[in-house]
């Protein structure tokens, strides 16, 4: 924005600029808007290098249905979510639109598809760019977490509605974690630098939920490479809170994760049958 178009301080209550409304809402947050509308942005533009050769990860099948469709349904399953923005592989927006048309999805939810970028961060930003103004709460959810239960989605939305500018679902760790000095050559022994107390660590998942203006400001300000959106809000000095995640919200990253995801789906089908 040019300085000329920047509203004077007396005009800021009108919320005429993204930057201004971000500042207001970082303090007030979505808590003052209990009926705030929620949109979900689903970054799905990654290749899935760690999963091995094949189609882009989000388009690979799980139980015969593309992973992305599972993720879209998981977001649309929440009554609080009325718009889902899918950030497609850069050259795959048409294919993703066709996929959404070909699968049954809730009618009360709107769907938008945009092409993604080189990094996850860029893909999320491209999704945020197309959000209509009436959405005050944004979820960011990895397409690679197709099986997150609706209760987790709702818990994240509720926490944002209750006033947190940024909310992440997370689970305790099973393994002890060591900080190391990474070896120059993969496979070489790596010196241990520290062992953080496991009980204080959490593995974070998605959907992460945000006051929309706060997230937009974070994406406009933080340029460091990050692996989640909440850490950008932390860098702004704002509070981020954790709510309980779910073991089924794991990220499909490596081939073994596909085996686990198929098993979870099979268990759900079995349970639905009774
Ligand atoms: N993502 C994206 N745009 C990118 C990179 C990643 O939208 N340029 C998305 C992925 O599609 C995925 C989510 O971010 O839904 C989490 O990323 P990750 O699990 O790392 O997926 P990939 O980057 O596809 O996998 P890999 O790192 O193994 O290549
Ligand atoms: Mg990646």
Structural domain includes residue 102: yes
pLDDT of 1 > 80? The answer is no
DSSP state of 78: S
| 117 Cβ below 6 A of ligand 1 | yes
Structural domain includes residue 149: yes
pLDDT of 18 > 90? The answer is no
- Half-sphere CA count of 15, side-chain side, radius 13 A: 11
Task: Check which CATH number belongs to the domain holding 75 and give it.
Answer: 3.90.550.10
pLDDT of 151 > 60? The answer is yes
Containing structural domain, residue 163: 21-169+203-271
- Residue 214 CA to ligand 1 center (angstroms) comes to 23
- Residue 3 CA to ligand 1 center (angstroms) comes to 36
Nearest-atom number in ligand 1 for the CA of 87 is: 7
Query: Total structural domains in the chain?
Result: 1
- Cβ partners under 8 Å of residue 102, min gap 6: none
Reported for 265-273, long-range contacts at CB under 8 A and 24+ positions apart, including other chains, are 265/62, 265/63, 265/147, 266/63, 269/63
Round to whole Å and give the CA distance between 81 and 74.
10
Structural domain includes residue 192: no
| 193 Cβ below 6 A of ligand 1 | no
**Ligand with minimal distance to 127 CA:** 1
Distances in Å between the Cα of 237 and the Cα atoms of 6, 164, 208 are: 24, 13, 17
For the segment 74-88, the average pLDDT, to the nearest whole number, is 98
Structural domain includes residue 174: no
Structural domain includes residue 261: yes
pLDDT score, position 243: 98
Structural domain includes residue 183: no
> Nearest to residue 258, comparing CAs of 99, 152, 146, 92?
146
Round to whole Å and give the CA distance between 185 and 16.
52
| 7 Cβ below 6 A of ligand 1 | no
Nearest-atom number in ligand 1 for the CA of 42 is: 15
pLDDT score, position 23: 44
- 9 confidence band (pLDDT: 50, 70, 90): very low
| 123 Cβ below 6 A of ligand 1 | yes
- Residue 45 CA to ligand 2 center (angstroms) comes to 9
Structural domain includes residue 14: no
Closest residue CA from atom 25 of ligand 1: 48
For the segment 158-174, the average pLDDT, to the nearest whole number, is 97
pLDDT score, position 186: 92
- Residue 227 CA to ligand 1 center (angstroms) comes to 10
Residues with CB under 5 A from ligand 2 (ion): 46
pLDDT score, position 273: 77
Beta-sheet pairing, 65-66 with 61-62: antiparallel
pLDDT of 12 > 90? The answer is no
Q: What are the tens digits of pLDDT across the range 107-149?
A: 999 999 999 999 999 999 999 999 999 999 999 999 999 999 9
Q: What are the tens digits of pLDDT across the range 210-267?
A: 999 999 999 999 988 899 999 999 999 999 999 999 999 999 999 999 999 999 999 9
Structural domain includes residue 54: yes
């Amino acid at each position: 924005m040019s300085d000329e178009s920047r509203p004077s301080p007396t005009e800021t209550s009108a919320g005429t600029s993204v930057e201004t409304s971000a500042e207001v809402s970082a303090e007030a947050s979505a808590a003052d808007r209990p009926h705030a509308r929620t949109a979900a942005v689903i970054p799905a533009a990654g290749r899935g290098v760690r999963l091995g050769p094949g189609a882009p990860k989000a388009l690979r099948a799980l139980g015969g249905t593309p992973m992305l469709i599972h993720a879209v349904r998981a977001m649309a399953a929440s009554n609080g979510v009325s718009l889902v923005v899918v950030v497609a592989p850069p050259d795959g927006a048409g294919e993703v639109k066709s996929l959404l048309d070909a699968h049954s999805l809730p009618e009360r939810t709107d769907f938008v598809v945009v092409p993604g970028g080189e990094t996850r961060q860029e893909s999320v930003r491209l999704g945020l760019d197309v959000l209509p103004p009436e959405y005050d709460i944004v979820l960011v959810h990895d397409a690679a977490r197709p099986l997150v239960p609706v209760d987790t989605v709702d818990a994240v939305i509720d926490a944002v509605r209750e006033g947190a500018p940024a909310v992440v679902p997370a689970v305790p760790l099973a393994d002890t974690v060591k900080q190391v000095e990474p070896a120059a050559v993969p496979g070489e022994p790596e010196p241990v630098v520290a062992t953080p107390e496991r009980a204080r660590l959490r593995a974070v998942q998605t959907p992460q939920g945000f006051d929309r203006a706060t997230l937009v400001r974070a994406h406009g300000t933080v340029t460091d490479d990050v692996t989640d959106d909440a850490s950008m809000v932390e860098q702004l000095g704002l509070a981020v809170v954790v709510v309980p995640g779910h073991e089924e919200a794991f990220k499909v990253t490596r081939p073994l994760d596909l085996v686990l995801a198929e098993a979870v789906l099979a268990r759900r089908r079995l349970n639905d049958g009774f």
